[in-house]
Chains A and B, each alone.
Chain A
Amino acid sequence: MKEISNLNEGNDFSINYPDSKELRKRILDVVEHAGRGHVGPALSILDIMDILYGAVMRNIDGDSNMERDRFILSKGHGCLALYVVLEKYGLIGNENLESFCSFNSVFGGHPESIKLSAIEFSTGALGHGPSLAVGLAVGAKLMNTHSRIYVLVGDGELNEGSIWEAAAHAYKHKLNNLCMIIDRNGMQASGNLEEVLDMEPLREKLESFGFLVSECDGHNREELIHALDFEEFDSDLPRAVIANTVKGKGLKEAENSPTWHHKAKISSEEIQILRAGLL
């Protein structure tokens, strides 16, 4: 793995990779316009998205470049985070993000590849991303390219059996170019995972499926880079990064609140409350 000091080339890390408060504000702006959105699930993955696109993934601006790293947001409902990060890095052209969820928008409540070339696959129904990623990763190996394939799943999404079908095949094919990131925020729409369906011990489960597992604070940018920026030749194993996150991170009202998993008809009063608690 690369060392942080090499990535930063001696610069102050916090300057190169500032926190995501501005991105959170942008999500709030978009939600205010649309009056709806999956706020909590976006905020738990916002730092992961920002670090992936800003510091880890290679050749992301050329969709015909077969050497580019790929990303699939399997938990498509977290798309507000993906959209604001793509906007930050100039990957959505002139499209207006504030049109989110409106009739002619390219920004739906779940991301669509037919609308934006920066979106690898349309996602929304849970449990699809890892199998798509296995296909991309096997394809990359068959073509002798060195692109790395990232797929981000929610910890609630791990309830889906198809995730584990894909996991078994990732190990079978020795997909050391594949990295499955788990957004471990401990909640799903129905409540806490430990009450609904506890998937712990997660590290042991993933290791038993043959993953090389690392764990990090999903809001600590140095830890995220360490965990996500890997070299294929370090191992024959597919990678899993358990990112410990907080649902609704950075908006006091929404943090760890299942109420803010998804909301429609969000009032201006509610937006004001969220803004007041912006961290």
Chain B
Amino acid sequence: MRQTALQTVYELAKIDSRIVFIGSDLGFGTLAEMKRELPNQFFMEGISEQHIVGFAAGLAKQGFVPFVNTIATFFSRRAYEQIAIDLALHQSKVILLASGGGMVYAPLGPTHTAIEDIATMSALPGIRVACPADPLEMREIVIASSREVGPWYVRFGKGGEPSIIDQCTKKTGFLKFFGQDDRPILILTTGIMLHVAMEFKSKSENFGDHTCIIHIPILEDRELDNLVNPLKNAKRVIVLEEHIPVGGLFTRLLHTAHKYGIDSRKFRQRNLLHEFSHHYGSQKDHLEYNRLSESGILECLQDYNL
């Protein structure tokens, strides 16, 4: 997904000289072609997350559209005040491309795993938080972010995901539906959790046909307001997110349920534990450990006493 995001920025920059890329602490050779072909629109800056966010806000004030890329936790923890003030308060048109959302960097330990970033970023007024599921959706979001006002935080999942968004049966806003939304089982996902839900739906003989998946890449009320009927109609609602249990998709859905008088006792949640992990291993290991898996979904379904 990161490759798709950066390549899309490059393509946009070729046709719009206002679009610039700012990188920090990235791998050698990142966007080498853009650096060579569009040197005035490419900035590889020092390891200075506070600075690059302010720098981007200054450029945005001059009419440029900066896409800024570094590791998710370095944005969401180190540069939080700059994101709040220089971007959100000013409605600066700056797009933060956050590499390594969730447990992508699990082998590198808790300094690098972005477990609470959706909560902290979503808590700020005026910033759009996006968690695309695959390269197709990443491209959709990067293009959309370049056209809309205000700042974005775009959380990257792991690399090399196959594209599955094009299998959706319906689109509403950024929401993607997989199956009829009057099914008794509703699985709601954000980010790469869509892949887990799709695996479950395709493999489960007992539940697959009774399941609708709705993928929610942008966590904001105007998107979630489109979920009222499916949430009302479903008998079982399972929420999957690669994030701590508070402040993410599940919390937003509780607000939606409260707002529209929907019984949230039928909601179940699969998420990361609300603690810093001291295990390493792969992202997949951590998803399994936290039951963010097909078997974890099955356990949720068996938990109902309907």
Verify A169–B51 contact, CB threshold 8 A.
yes
Q: A128-B54, A131-B53 are in contact. Are A136 and B62 (CB under 8 A)?
A: yes
The answer for the CA separation of A125 and B54 in the assembled complex, in Å, is: 12
Number of A-B contacts (CB under 8 A): 93
Verify A168–B48 contact, CB threshold 8 A.
yes
Verify B54–A131 contact, CB threshold 8 A.
yes
Stretch at the interface among B78-86, B156-164, B289-297: B78-86
Verify B60–A135 contact, CB threshold 8 A.
yes
Task: Say whether A162 faces chain B, with CB atoms less than 8 Å apart.
Answer: yes
Stretch at the interface among A36-44, A54-62, A139-147: A139-147
Tell me which residues across on chain A come within 8 A of B46, comparing CB atoms: 165, 168-169, 172
Verify B40–A142 contact, CB threshold 8 A.
yes
Verify A139–B61 contact, CB threshold 8 A.
yes
Verify A135–B50 contact, CB threshold 8 A.
no
Tell me which residues across on chain B come within 8 A of A122, comparing CB atoms: 85, 89-90
Please tell me which one of the listed residues A139, A143, A162, A168 contacts residue B54 in the complex, with CB atoms under 8 A apart. A162
The answer for the CA separation of A236 and B216 in the assembled complex, in Å, is: 49
Task: Say whether B184 faces chain A, with CB atoms less than 8 Å apart.
Answer: no
Tell me which residues across on chain A come within 8 A of B53, comparing CB atoms: 131
Verify A135–B40 contact, CB threshold 8 A.
no
The listed residue with most A CB atoms (<10 A of its CB), out of B50, B62, B89, B90, is B62
Verify A131–B62 contact, CB threshold 8 A.
no
Verify B59–A139 contact, CB threshold 8 A.
yes
A41-72, CB under 8 A of B: which get 1 and which 0?
A: 00000000000000000000000001000000
Secondary structure class of chain B's binding surface, majority of residues: helix
Verify B61–A138 contact, CB threshold 8 A.
no
The answer for the CA separation of A114 and B88 in the assembled complex, in Å, is: 12
Please tell me which one of the listed residues B56, B60, B64, B90 contacts residue A113 in the complex, with CB atoms under 8 A apart. B90
Verify A165–B51 contact, CB threshold 8 A.
yes
Please tell me which one of the listed residues B48, B55, B81 contacts residue A135 in the complex, with CB atoms under 8 A apart. B55
The answer for the CA separation of A122 and B84 in the assembled complex, in Å, is: 12
Please tell me which one of the listed residues A124, A136, A162 contacts residue B61 in the complex, with CB atoms under 8 A apart. A136
Whole-angstrom distance between the Cβ of A262 and the nearest chain B Cβ: 20
The answer for the CA separation of A133 and B62 in the assembled complex, in Å, is: 11
How many chain A residues touch B (CB < 8 A): the figure is 30
Please tell me which one of the listed residues A113, A136, A165, A168 contacts residue B58 in the complex, with CB atoms under 8 A apart. A136
Q: A122-B90, A131-B55, A135-B55 are in contact. Are A169 and B48 (CB under 8 A)?
A: yes
Q: A122-B89, A125-B81 are in contact. Are A166 and B54 (CB under 8 A)?
A: yes
The answer for the CA separation of A137 and B54 in the assembled complex, in Å, is: 12
Task: Say whether B225 faces chain A, with CB atoms less than 8 Å apart.
Answer: no
Task: Say whether B45 faces chain A, with CB atoms less than 8 Å apart.
Answer: yes
Verify A135–B85 contact, CB threshold 8 A.
no
Tell me which residues across on chain B come within 8 A of A118, comparing CB atoms: none
Verify A139–B63 contact, CB threshold 8 A.
yes
Tell me which residues across on chain A come within 8 A of B131, comparing CB atoms: none
Tell me which residues across on chain A come within 8 A of B62, comparing CB atoms: 66, 135-136, 139-140, 142-143
The answer for the CA separation of A132 and B89 in the assembled complex, in Å, is: 14
Task: Say whether A29 faces chain B, with CB atoms less than 8 Å apart.
Answer: no
Verify A139–B51 contact, CB threshold 8 A.
no
Top 8 A-B residue pairs of the complex, sorted by shortest distance between their CB atoms: A135-B58, A131-B54, A139-B62, A165-B51, A165-B48, A162-B50, A135-B59, A136-B58
Given pairs A132-B58, A139-B61, 14 additional interface contacts (CB within 8 A): A114-B90, A122-B85, A124-B85, A131-B51, A132-B61, A135-B57, A135-B62, A136-B61, A138-B59, A139-B58, A143-B63, A161-B50, A165-B50, A169-B55
A-binding residues in B (CB < 8 A) = 40, 43, 45-46, 48, 50-64, 81-82, 85-86, 89-90
- A–B complex contacts, Cβ < 8 Å, 18 sampled: A66-B62, A114-B90, A125-B85, A130-B54, A131-B86, A132-B55, A132-B58, A132-B86, A133-B58, A134-B54, A134-B55, A134-B58, A135-B55, A135-B57, A135-B62, A138-B58, A162-B50, A165-B46
